Chain A
Amino acid sequence: MTPLATSLLTICGMAVATYISRAAGLMLMSRVTPGVRMRRFMHAIPGAILASIVAPSALAAGPAEAVATLATALTAWRFGNLPLAMLAGVAVVLGLRQFVG
């Protein structure tokens, strides 16, 4: 196989692997009727994923990021406006990074 064919086939394989991951959750849920514990598990998943995505940068990156996360959360809580909260977070982190590492 030519190098280009190999790399395009690899990309094909990556695409299939990714799509399987995207479709598998729905396929599982369409076959299983969740019981009480399963429902509690699923109910908690969205928040748990969001908290996990945020945790490293919010709590383990440094004081600027921690304060900016707090500012973002407060802005989102007060105004319920996503672009505004995003802007507030970026502005605070940019400002604070001038002073702290």
Chain B
Amino acid sequence: MNAQSSPASGRLSFSLGGVLAGFRACVPVSLGVAVYGVLFGLLARQKGLSWLEAQSMSLFVFAGASQLIALDLWGPDLPVVSLIATTFIVNLRHVLMGAALSPQLLRLGAAQAFGSLFFMTDESWALALGRWADDSRRGRASDAAFLLGAGLAVYTFWNASTALGHVLVRGLDDPARYGLDFAFTAVFTALLVGLRPRRADVLPLLAATGAALLVLRFCPGKWYILAGALAGGLTAAVGPPAQAEEQRP
């Protein structure tokens, strides 16, 4: 690993301290994730998946939404191609998420960057994004291992809770009863506020919100996220220049 300190365009540090900071920051969110991990394990058992199958999915696919959708398609005559295609489509938003983190990830070694990306989820992505935006606002050097640490927290809780749900738990079939379904909305709302949007960001945000709501009405699944992201990005691209444009590295 490169131990030299990093000027603006050089390597970023990637330390154990960064991993631990990311992990710690992500534990509260991961508890919310675990509720859905238990639900996944439970539903997988009901669908007839063995523990080995359910756990392999959580260990190697590690993507909550597509795993839950896969359960819906799962059956005795396995629709192999549509399962894989659906998984890819549900996860297309990751392409834009990974690209959004590229200013930091491009300043890492390939193994560090592409290894970290295996563990990238909506939650760890948003936390790392917020952390690194905060770093650059304060003129503080970022530790790029934060993304990996946050991802590992989600990974640990997701897998432990999958096992728990498959083997042990009965009856936690409705997280909404405890308001836990709202935990994710709350987390992402707080992270959005933490980005401190400027006036130039308002129009893209409105476009994103509008497109997401529109697509939500007509398409099932997670298409609304991709649609909103593209609408927001395109609005910004064709709109007047934002004065903050040069501030993010």
Which residues of A pack against B, CB within 8 Å? 3-4, 6-15, 17-26, 28-30, 36-60, 65, 68-69, 72-73, 75-77, 80, 82-83, 85-86, 88-91, 93-94, 97
Alpha-carbon separation in the docked complex, A57 to B50 (Å): 33
Q: Cβ of A42: which chain B residues have Cβ within 8 Å of it?
A: 99-100, 102, 233
How far in angstroms is the closest Cβ of chain A from B66?
7
**Known interface pairs A13-B80, A25-B99, A90-B183; A55-B209 also in contact (CB < 8 Å):** yes
Which residues of B pack against A, CB within 8 Å? 25, 28-29, 32, 49-50, 52-53, 56-57, 60-63, 66, 70, 78, 80, 83-85, 87-88, 91-102, 105-106, 113-114, 117-118, 120, 122, 126-127, 129, 133, 178-195, 197, 201, 204-205, 207-209, 211-213, 216, 224-225, 227-239, 241-242, 244-245, 248
Asked if B236 and A43 sit within 8 Å, CB to CB, the answer is yes
Q: Cβ of A38: which chain B residues have Cβ within 8 Å of it?
A: 237
| Majority DSSP secondary structure for residues of B touching A | helix
Alpha-carbon separation in the docked complex, A47 to B105 (Å): 19
Given contacts A25-B97, A76-B194, could you give 15 more A-B pairs where the C-beta distance is less than 8 Å?
A: A7-B53, A15-B61, A25-B94, A26-B102, A28-B99, A44-B233, A45-B96, A45-B99, A48-B204, A51-B205, A55-B213, A57-B181, A65-B185, A85-B193, A94-B178
| Majority DSSP secondary structure for residues of A touching B | helix
Alpha-carbon separation in the docked complex, A6 to B222 (Å): 27
Q: Which of A18, A39, A54 contacts B188 (CB 8 A)?
A: A54
Q: Cβ of A57: which chain B residues have Cβ within 8 Å of it?
A: 181-182, 184-185
Asked if A94 and B179 sit within 8 Å, CB to CB, the answer is yes
Asked if B238 and A37 sit within 8 Å, CB to CB, the answer is yes
